[in-house]
A and B are shown apart, each in its own frame.
Chain A
């Protein structure tokens, strides 16, 4: 529990003819992490990329493209359906895996390729329809803009010596435009319309058109590209509208086809995707292997509790024709797999956010599991919010948590934290702040009184010191394990000596009014000894660590700050609600709404900070004494099946 799982490293040689059977079987469980064989050292050749891997990769890309197409053209769901999909698990019907690779090939040929053709057909049609709809919409918009000019479309095109130009210009710039056109030889301003902006129609010599337009652009003129139609604009617009309606209907039909295709094939396609991913993972593993003419060789880390199963599979699938030798390995190359009981396992999630321990280092998940919910509760500390958190956490645990393991861990952390939130809320007399003065009647400590606040501060400082001491003790253990004895004494144990010294001096102060007691002298000696040890460790800068240590202890006071903040904000919401309730007639209704939304917001804000700050106390203060978090996570040769099931081959 306090160490990551133990591993053995094996170097395995087997016949190439047995290889596929072995890979198929090993891939079904988290049995091993395959590592690249040193080909030069072992005088082996590398495997080429297999046809199976190429096949799987190619068709996996195709599958993903179709799934993306289905996703892009998905029917919009109601909020209720989306919520149900998000919360509740729908157990899919599992598809049987094909007997062998040729079965997979047949499945791809008979199902994926025809589906892909259909999808590509619909996709092509949709793209073409979208382009045409966009073009016609643009043309319609242009025609509507220039409709007021009252000119026939035939007159806008087809002249050899003159060019007819239509464009827009801001109202305030129109006089400048008029001036320019008037001054230009053989140019003629025909018509100007519009109020918000001016639409201008003018003619200009074809030869000079480019130069004139360049000049006009400088003063803010924007030419409108007019589509080449004939006839009256008024008559053209309805024609375009009817074309648009026809195209949109076609688009609708194609979308319907796409949705129908998705409805019929998505589940099967997802299952095929899983099969192809498994195939790719298995065949890609060969790039880590080495080979001779008839044998294949690989190296793998196997968790200690899976070694016998690993050997059994090798023996069964090769008919005992294999050679597996246990080989030594260094701490740095070992994979890290955390091994904790179920309750503690939830908190592995938090540890992974920081980094995994090294192979022989302490796994601190147990301490996080024991203390994180307590710190969370101290930071939140409200009976009402705590009860909501427990209910919410448990509800999500048995809905969302059933769907995904990550959610299961997170929701467990929520309701564990909720229990302590409720407990501390009860102790400090906070029920949605001071709502109804309910909890104050049972409060054990009143944090808003001078004595209560001082007691709260003292308790938190004590908790902080004990938490740090736990870190220091583990730090000593780590330093001794690495045979860094000086570090253990000067950088870790020195803090224990300092604490004993401070306790002795404090005892002398409390017990004796004068300072001439044995306690006092021993205390001063121990504090001096600590300073010497720190100086030995880091020179003058080593002494600065005293302020760092003090900062770490005081950092725990954030829990008091957060606890008080929860209460103070909730109290403010209650007081404001009471003021609102005084409004005649509707006061109570608004007050209740304000209370609900106010407490909901306070709950969310404090939920976030009560999670972040205890996490920080572990990562920054606690871990700084012993934890590095540089381990590499165990990456098993395995893909968990969700939609398919393996066919047992006898």
Chain B
């Protein structure tokens, strides 16, 4: 376990970084998905058989959140673990 105060601060900052990585990515992804979903809802209301394809459109902006998630996981489990956090 980490005992050095500087290391503790460093680890704290690493965790904040991980939080920002997923937080900002998810916010951007959410905004994009919101716009796409609003348009898709209109489309499905008109042509209900297009549900599957509309879902695809809505799902596209989500990938960025996954990137953010991967970076956060890597920060936590690779960088932080490398510094002896676990």
Q: Give chain A's interface residues, CB within 8 Å of chain B.
A: 353-355, 449-450, 453-454, 457, 551, 554-555, 557-558, 560-561, 612, 615-616, 619-620, 629
| Cross-chain contact A619 with B55 (CB below 8 angstroms) | yes
**What residue in chain A is nearest B50 (Cβ atoms)?**
A355
B56 touches A616 (CB 8 A): yes
Total cross-chain contacts (CB, 8 A)? 53
When the two chains form the complex, which single residue of A354, A558, A561 contacts B52, counting CB atoms closer than 8 Å? A354
Chain A residues within 8 Å of B76, by CB: 453
* Closest residue of A by beta carbon distance from B51: A353
Q: Chain A residues near B56: list those with CB within 8 A.
A: 616, 619-620
A616 to B54, CA, bound (A): 11
Number of B interface residues, CB 8 Å?
20
Other-chain residue from A355, A450, A554, A612 in contact with B70 (beta carbon distance below 8 A): A554
Query: What is the CB-to-nearest-CB distance from B82 to chain A, in angstroms, rounded to a whole number?
Result: 9
Q: B60 at the A/B interface (Cβ < 8 Å)?
A: yes
Is B66 on the interface with A (CB-CB < 8 A)?
yes
Interface residues of B in 23-70 (CB under 8 A from A): 49, 51-53, 55-56, 59-60, 62-63, 66-67, 69-70
Partner of A620, one of B51, B59, B77: B59
Chain B hits for A558, CB < 8 A: 62, 66, 69
**11 additional A-B residue pairs with CB within 8 Å, beyond A355-B53, A551-B63, A629-B53:** A353-B51, A354-B52, A354-B53, A355-B49, A554-B63, A554-B70, A560-B69, A560-B73, A616-B55, A616-B59, A620-B60
Of A457, A551, A558, A561, most B-chain CB atoms within 10 Å:
A561
- Inter-subunit contact A554/B66 (CB<8 Å): yes
Q: Verify if B81 is at the interface (C-beta below 8 Å from A).
A: yes
C-alpha gap A630/B31 in the complex (Å): 30
Q: Is the interface of B mostly helix, strand, loop or mixed?
A: helix
State the Cβ distance, B80 to closest chain A Cβ, in Å: 8
Interface centre among A554, A555, A560, A620 (most CB of B within 10 A): A620
What residues of A have a CB within 8 angstroms of the CB of B49 in the complex?
A: 355
Q: How far is the CA of A558 from the CA of B73 in the complex (A)?
A: 12
Nearest-CB residue, chain B, relative to A355? B52
Residues of B within 8 A of A551 (CB): 63
Q: List 6 A-B contacts (CB under 8 A).
A: A355-B53, A551-B63, A555-B66, A557-B69, A557-B70, A612-B55
Q: Within 8 Å CB of B66, what residues of A?
A: 554-555, 557-558, 561
| A450 near B77: Cβ-Cβ < 8 Å | yes
Q: Which residues of B contact A (CB under 8 A)?
A: 49, 51-53, 55-56, 59-60, 62-63, 66-67, 69-70, 73, 76-78, 81, 86
Chain B residues contacting A457 (CB-CB under 8 Å) are: 70, 73
Q: Is the CB of A453 within 8 A of B73?
A: yes
Residues of A within 8 A of B62 (CB): 558, 616
Q: Identify the 3 closest CB pairs spanning chains A and B, nearest first.
A: A354-B52, A450-B81, A616-B59
Establish whether residues B86 and A450, one from each chain, have CB atoms under 8 Å apart when the complex forms: yes
Closest to B85 in A: A450
Instruction: State the CA gap A615–B62 with chains docked (Å).
Output: 14
CB closest residue in chain A, given B69:
A561
A561 to B66 Cα, complex, angstroms: 8
> Which A residues touch B53, using CB under 8 A?
354-355, 629
Q: Do A629 and B52 touch (CB < 8 A)? A: yes
Task: Please indicate the chain B residues that have their CB under 8 angstroms from the CB of A615 in the complex.
Answer: 55
Question: In the complex, what residues of B have CB within 8 A of residue A454's CB?
Answer: 77-78
Q: How far is the CA of A6 from the CA of B59 in the complex (A)?
A: 34
Contacts of A555 in B (CB 8 A): 63, 66
Least Cβ–Cβ distance between B46 and chain A, in angstroms? 17
Contact of B67 among A353, A449, A554, A620 (CB under 8 A): A554
**Interchain nearest-CB distance for B77 vs A (Å):** 5
Considering only CB atoms, which chain B residue lies closest to A565 in the complex? B69
Q: How far is the CA of A555 from the CA of B51 in the complex (A)?
A: 21
Instruction: Give Cα A615–Cα B77 distance, bound, in whole angstroms.
Output: 29
Shortest B50–chain A CB gap in Å is: 9
Q: How far is the CA of A555 from the CA of B69 in the complex (A)?
A: 10
Nearest opposing residue in chain A for B64, CB measure: A551
Instruction: Give the residue name and chain of the B residue nearest to A457 (CB).
Output: B73
| Chain A neighbourhood of B59, CB < 8 A | 616, 619-620
Give complex CA distance A76, B51 in Å.
34
Q: How far is the CB of B23 from chain A (nearest CB, A)?
A: 14
CA distance A629 to B52 in the complex (A): 10
A464 to chain B, nearest CB (A): 11
Hey, which chain B residues are within 8 Å of A557, CB to CB? 66, 69-70
CA distance A541 to B1 in the complex (A): 49
Q: Which residues of B contact A561 (CB under 8 A)?
A: 66, 69
CA distance A454 to B76 in the complex (A): 11
Given contact pairs A558-B66, A561-B69, A616-B55, A449 touches B86 in the complex (Cβ within 8 A) = yes
